[in-house]
Structure 1
């Protein structure tokens, strides 16, 4: 069975999608749609896609795809997803699924009622090192998780950041939570497997420097998720350098440290050697782990398997498999809704903090 796939939105995110779609033998990309005719036409020419559209409903009526991948700005995600589902399509949506948890819940319920599969673009959730981390925790390697810490250093001097700063009409400025709302999924999706089911935002602070070079954007956000057994610290910064994406799980036996930018995962554990020798042994063990993983990553580079978004291919493959075999989707809907609820709290907190600071 070959799944017929259409893409909506022909920007950078769509380029990432199509690169992974081309690797799948059971998928055929049949059409692309963008509100800008030239964007859609050039995308189709670059990738050998047969049909170009500016009208999404026309695409659905004429092409009747099995799956629609939505790679547009977040403001349009929910409406496009609901339209695709109404036409019997399974849907993969870039993050965030919707601008609020209420709308995200509506989209998920509609998909379930219509027998359609739905997933969201949590690419980091499926990075090889993240999957390895979850496996270690499941095996009990670190004991019981007791604390989580996730941090994202966002480079506003990069290509996307520069586009946001230079264009007052950029879609990021139209989000209630601006840049933070567009990126919190990257952090919260990492912790959702490990926190308690009753975890909620217990503390939030949003800060903007008096003479910030980033008008209309917060310089830093920090929030705490607290539950019955465990708490998680989440931090997002526009000022930290270099670009970084880190996740730490502190356990009752040892600690896992994940660097998603470098695709490394190391474990801190105590040494049986006494005093200074023990501290030296721990440092040498960290060096050994990093060297081993660097050589493994070098092998991936040689195999052309060290992409910027290594989890995207895994996510798409797992989602298409769930469609073909009518299996569970790769990301539980409960996870998506919990993260959407936390983002609501963060966005509201940002707005309150900005109002106070002004």
Structure 2
């Protein structure tokens, strides 16, 4: 399939890199309204045709698939246009600025009969795939509660860009700083919720004032609680200050509990005291050590198979997306989950506005 990337910023290189490994895909073109951006991208990826007009790229390059790596407020218009021009679409997160926009994209996919998906790559990390197996096998029992944490390093390149430029596209999102990462947080949770949910959320700013009104108005810490009509609850933290920078999920089940660390790629069952009294406190640390050891061996094996790089999870997702197109397989990210994530983000944004 002939593939074009729209938007030649930093994340576009991640898409291009993983497309090189997908046998069903061939990256043939890239587009950006800024000529210098697409020029530099084509220099990094030789053989890619350069365009500054999206519609012209789709027509002239006879594209089958479009990857959108543009700012989120452009996703609805571009995705719908690509679908109507006969392309399948893979969208960088956030999928859309709000649930209304998300619904428009999904409806356009339904009407045109084309596939659309979103880069919820962390749901395809090895710990997440292991969790999916446990859930399918019923090992955890019914889900009672989930806890998730995600760090946002404002001292990194991306954080510095957001905090130094009041015109950065992140400031145009309804949820500002949090909106850019909430898809990753909530995509891990939505499978355990139905559409009947309530949200509570608070945002606060811990960093010192900069003197810029637009930047100082933006919180850098988020706490939220979800309650589903099915009785499941979840709490989440997005933090710019907690160290080490976290990327974790804890799943409490009626039979067992597991902890996932996406950065370290570990999935470990919670400690359980099965022996009585003082003796019972001796063994759990050793059991946990052996479980982490098993994770370490698995990660070493993945390293030996060249499956340990940062975007390995995106590779797994893209392989499933392209298989869905050619083999008429199931969508790797169900559309109802994409829409539910968007609705949850809308609810968090509203909760933050009410408290403000």
What's the TM-score, normalizing by structure 2? 0.94
Runs of 4+ deviating beyond 6 Å: none
Match of 2:169 in 1: 171
Q: 1:202 and 2:204 equivalent? A: no
1:328-349 deviation per Cα after TM superposition (whole angstroms, max 9, x unaligned): 2111110000010000011222
Alignment equivalent of 2:147, drawn from 133, 149, 165: 149
Distance 1:271 1:117 in 2: 48
Distance 1:152 1:193 in 2: 18
Give how far 1:210 is off: 8.1
Contact 1:32/1:49 (<8 A) preserved: no
Match of 2:38 in 1: 40
Alignment equivalent of 2:107, drawn from 99, 109, 128: 109
Match of 1:275 in 2: 277
Equivalent positions of 1:1-358 (< 5 A) are 3-195=1-193, 197-209=194-206, 211=208, 215-227=216-228, 228-354=230-356
Note the aligned Cα RMSD (angstroms): 1.6
Gaps of 5+ in 1: none
Distance 2:111 2:47 in 1: 31
Give how far 1:212 is off: 5.1
Distance 1:121 1:17 in 2: 10
Distance 1:210 1:59 in 2: 43
Q: Which deviates more from structure 2 when the two are superposed, residues 170-179 or residues 274-283?
A: 274-283
1:247-299 deviation per Cα after TM superposition (whole angstroms, max 9, x unaligned): 01011122100001111110015233112222221111111111221232233
Count of aligned pairs: 351
Give how far 1:18 is off: 0.9
Q: Which deviates more from structure 2 when the two are superposed, residues 312-321 or residues 151-160?
A: 151-160
Q: 1:198 to 1:113 in 2, by over 3 A?
A: closer
Gaps of 5+ in 2: none
Q: Equivalent residue of 1:106, what SS?
A: helix
